[in-house]
Structure 1
């Protein structure tokens, strides 16, 4: 299809095939170190993938970060990303990481509703503000949580920060990729599920991040999304689609400070 290469991240990253195993190893080691402060497989729905892992900081949490993974809505689960909780945890925030069903078994609009149920579940068992972060497809999903028809007002009002990383704000180009055989998007769903077509949220700090070495399509997506929403737009030089998220491990990184609303 005409846009396959434009959205092919791994094909343009040296050693891309090594990243999934590395993520799994780092995530498993992090969970092991955290011990009893890692609560694994908390159900938010009835399906086997409708679960999240919850990582608690030392002492009373200042709030809760919810991180939603990417993978073009068709791959990965929560088990590969646990180590990315390190930065917020060190700052005293709890971190929840949900899995969700994958395409083609479900549609993207159904995944959006699953993540909404995950956010509701986390909100019901926590206090304080919520901060949402998501990578790639996860960036799309956390942005969708600010839609008034997705979450109840009392939960949505607790969302203080939203940080989409390398997000897909406009889904319509994916109609011209071969991956759409798996995603099963049609024009109506692509338009309805595109955050750029939503009204920008009020009272929420939105910061859109992207690696400077990412594919031009992702650089354009981030820039357009930020412009439409009037959001902060951060381009991290020297980072690509697979390593731009590494900053979430560092409590002193600019990314973590933005996620938590710190100066």
Structure 2
């Protein structure tokens, strides 16, 4: 039996399990550059004062449409919103606005600080809905890996405590992809905790699966069939914790920890179809 640190480092080091990950990242960069050249968009909108507090906004073709907010992963310490622009066209064509958020990367920022930045981003979007012509009453969050953790944290947030003008149900639904929802194992994964510096006392307040939802927003989950047992277990923890709001888990037998993002951004893929269905259902006008 491997010791705890060795086991968790092996289980959570997704890039080490994907030999062609450099090729995947290069393809994302190429496809994202193409999306930015061909789609109407506003880049690097400041939602806060820190240099990392920026977001990109891709409008859809219709006025007053829902908003999908996508939060990128990278273990809270790498990647950028611009790496994921390729996701936007599949949703703007479906009639949704798309915002992709950045945050200050670890170790410059702690996970607690990054969570607050994402709350700030969503609050800023809600307050600026009229300016960017979307419906503030129809916001859905999505996230991948560390971004799924952050998306879940926005679903656990007590929004009126963060701002008196913010509704309790600011987030109407969620799409959680290959997330990490209990941070206790991450504390023992040396390859990443060298930057995150998680301590025992951080775990309960930063693990969404240990918290109640602040309101019953429906959500879907997915993880790749080629991912480690720990990523599978993490999704199970989130589903069990918020089972009353869990709509579906989408089977992706051929996907790994990275190609799940390709599935999410591909029109006609079952994951994209499930995401569109969720957004339509939770943002349907009465």
For the pair 1:139 / 2:144, whether they are aligned, the reply is: no
Match of 2:106 among 103, 112, 115: 103
CA distance in 2, matches of 1:89, 1:191: 37
Query: CA–CA distance in 2 between the matches of 1:248 and 1:95?
Result: 13
Question: Which residue in the other structure is 1:170 paired with?
Answer: 182
The more displaced of 133-142 and 51-60 is 51-60
Distance in 2 between residues matched to 1:84 and 1:94, nearest whole Å: 12
Q: Of 74, 81, 102, which aligns to 1:78? A: 81
**Distance apart, 1:176 and its partner CA:** 0.8
What residue in structure 2 maps to residue 233 of structure 1? 249
What corresponds to 1:194 in structure 2?
Answer: 207
Aligned 8 A contact 1:52 1:99 in 2 = yes
Instruction: Give 1:31 deviation, angstroms.
Output: 0.5
Measure, in 1, the Cα distance between the counterparts of 2:275 and 2:156: 19
Match of 2:284 in 1: none
Say if 1:191 and 1:216 are closer, same or farther in 2 by CA, change over 3 A. same
Query: TM-score by structure 1 length?
Result: 0.93
Are residues 228 and 203 of structure 1, via their aligned partners in 2, closer, same or farther at CA, if it must alter by over 3 Å? closer
SS at match of 1:96: strand
Gaps of 5+ in 2: 130-134, 282-286
Q: Is the 8 A contact 1:223 1:233 kept in 2?
A: no
- Answer yes or no: is 1:65 the counterpart of 2:41: no
Any idea what the Cα deviations from partners look like across 1:109-154, whole Å, max 9, x if unmatched? 1000000111111112222400100000000001001224355473
Report the RMSD for the aligned CA atoms in angstroms: 1.7
**Which secondary structure does the structure 2 equivalent of 1:115 belong to?**
helix
Instruction: Measure the CA separation in 2 of the matches of 1:86 and 1:156.
Output: 30
- Conserved 8 A contact 2:220-2:250: yes
Q: Distance in 2 between matches of 1:257 and 1:160?
A: 18
Cα deviation, 1:40-79, whole Å, max 9, x if unaligned, reads 0100011111100000111214210000000000001111
Take 1:116 and 1:158, find their aligned partners in 2: how far apart are those partners? Answer: 10
Distance change (3 Å), C-alpha of 1:202 and 1:156: closer
TM-superposed CA distance for 1:200, in Å, is: 3.0
Q: Specify the SS of the correspondent of 1:71.
A: coil
**Number of corresponding residues:** 261
Q: Does 1:242 align with 2:242?
A: no
Is contact 1:70–1:76 with CA below 8 Å preserved after alignment?
Answer: yes
Map of 2:132 onto structure 1: none
Between the aligned partners of 2:97 and 2:253, the Cα distance in structure 1 is 29
1:31 to 28, 36, 43: 36
Report the Cα offset of residue 86 of structure 1: 1.7
Q: Distance in 2 between matches of 1:46 and 1:141?
A: 20
Q: TM-score, normalised by structure 2?
A: 0.86
Give 2:119's match in structure 1, choosing from 116, 137, 141. 116
